[in-house]
Amino acid sequence: MKRVLIIGYVWPEPNSSAAGSHMMSLLRLFRQQDWQVEFASPAQTSEHMIDLAKEGISTKSIELNSDSFDEYLMAYQPDMVMFDRFMMEEQFAWRVEKNCPQALRILDTEDLQCLRHARQQAYKSKREMSKNDLYSDIAKREIAAILRSDISLIISSVEMDLLINTFKIDEPLLHHLPFMVDVSGLAKCTKSFAERKHFVSIGNFRHAPNWDAVLQLQKIWPAIRQQIPTAELHIYGAYPPPKASALNNPKTGFLIKGWAENARDVIEASRVCLAPLQFGAGIKGKLLDAMMTQTPSVTTSIGAEGMCLGNQWPGVITDDMNEFTEAAIELYNNENAWLRAQSLCLDVVVENYNSERLGNDLIEKIANVNNNLEQQRLNNFTGAMLRHHSMSSTKYMSQWIAAKNAKE
């Protein structure tokens, strides 16, 4: 039985974030192969974390900068280790290589943080993103982690293109893996136009692009409300800060709802999903949930980026907030326009997010790289060079911290 170790930046919260949902898809895929799966993390436990034991997945709390992780690795002896985001690769990969050199090392990027950070910097400065924004210290760390890994999972086709054509990473080191959806379980019929009411927006409040989207909605909501006086905007998301709760205004129908136990239920009850995202990266779980519940959406080019091929978006894409407002009103009031948008939802999901096809492709990729691991690492000289230099600096810093902690 293949032993798999996942080193998580946080414990999975599939009902709090798209990243948590994506992680659970991967864990379940590995369990379907009858692999032994253990999830380890240095993070604190949280109230919304999933019970992994019910999924047949064991757990382990680990420490940063501690030689106890080496002892743990020697006892567990994983055949494959997956790092959740580049920070976990930086912290633990050198220990994996030292203790389990033949273990396949996979980096799950979730989304490219360097791209999200670059866009945020440009947005804050009210200008277009530049190469200086993109080639940041975060990028140097993240790209180095990708190069050091045997496989990196990339969620967006746009990010695949960026890594191959801008950062010049060899394609065999990358694997495009969007969100995985069990399309056989999709409901063919969801609530009708007449059965739905109100607008919905959803997203973890700790995620900067989501909080900015709430502020965008606050600006445009009065114009929508003026045209549809009975409509409400229900804003859901885990971990709402006091500044978000302070925006709750029942008189205007601008309602901060907080954590949703089931995101798809609250989206399906709504008529239109709004996502005025101004920056970010990856692909957006909230918009995939909207498609899965056959709920038309209005979003920006950032929101829709990498989510479907062609121009058949189930709703409206616009970066102009006046047009965004008009589109939201039109979709809400015009049943024919709403039905046309709704009719595209399932086709987009089936074409782009079929878990059976995507899961089989990933398992095949893992098998192929495993069978040719020595040659792949030999071909990846840049990665070997980075492991030799940068991982050595990380290694000695970590050992210094561990020694310092032992003396205290």
Residue ranges with strand state E in 231-301: 233-236, 254-258, 272-275, 297-299
> What's the pLDDT score for residue 149?
97
Rounded distance between C-alpha atoms, residue 248 and residue 338, angstroms: 28
Judged against a pLDDT cut of 90, whether residue 311 lies above it is answered with: no
What pLDDT score was predicted for residue 407? Answer: 64
The pLDDT of residue 403 is: 67
- Considering only residues 399 and 246, tell me which one the structure prediction assigns the higher pLDDT: 246
CATH classification for the domain delimited by 3-180+354-407, as one of 3.40.50.2000, 2.60.120.10, 1.10.730.10, 2.60.40.10? 3.40.50.2000
257: left (phi over 0), alpha (psi -120 to 50) or beta: alpha
How do residues 251-292 score in pLDDT, each as one tens digit? 999 999 998 889 999 999 999 999 999 999 999 999 999 999
- Is residue 390's pLDDT more than 60? no
**3-180+354-407 shares its CATH topology with 183-352:** yes
What are the extents of the domains in the chain? 3-180+354-407, 183-352
- Fold classification of 183-352 is Rossmann fold (3.40.50)
Residue whose pair of structure tokens reads 């253990």 in the numeric block = 38
> In this predicted structure, what is the pLDDT of residue 392?
60
Is residue 396 over pLDDT 90? no
pLDDT of residue 46: 86
- The mean pLDDT of 99-122, rounded to a whole number, is 96
In 133-173, the DSSP E strands lie at: 151-154
391: pLDDT strictly greater than 60: no
Q: Is the pLDDT of residue 369 over 80?
A: yes
Q: Is residue 35 predicted with pLDDT exceeding 80?
A: yes
The number of CA neighbours under 13 Å toward the Cβ of 365 is 19
* Nearest one of 141, 185, 207 to 356, comparing CA atoms: 185
Q: Measuring CA to CA, how many Å separate 113 from each of 108, 116, 121, 391? A: 12, 5, 12, 20
54-86: burial string, b at 16+ Cβ within 10 Å, e else: eeebebeebeebbeebeebbeebebbbbbbbbb
Q: Please say whether the beta carbons of 391 and 145 come within 8 A.
A: no
What percent of the chain lies above the pLDDT cut of 70?
95
16, pLDDT greater than 90: no
Both tokens of 275, joined, read: 């996502």
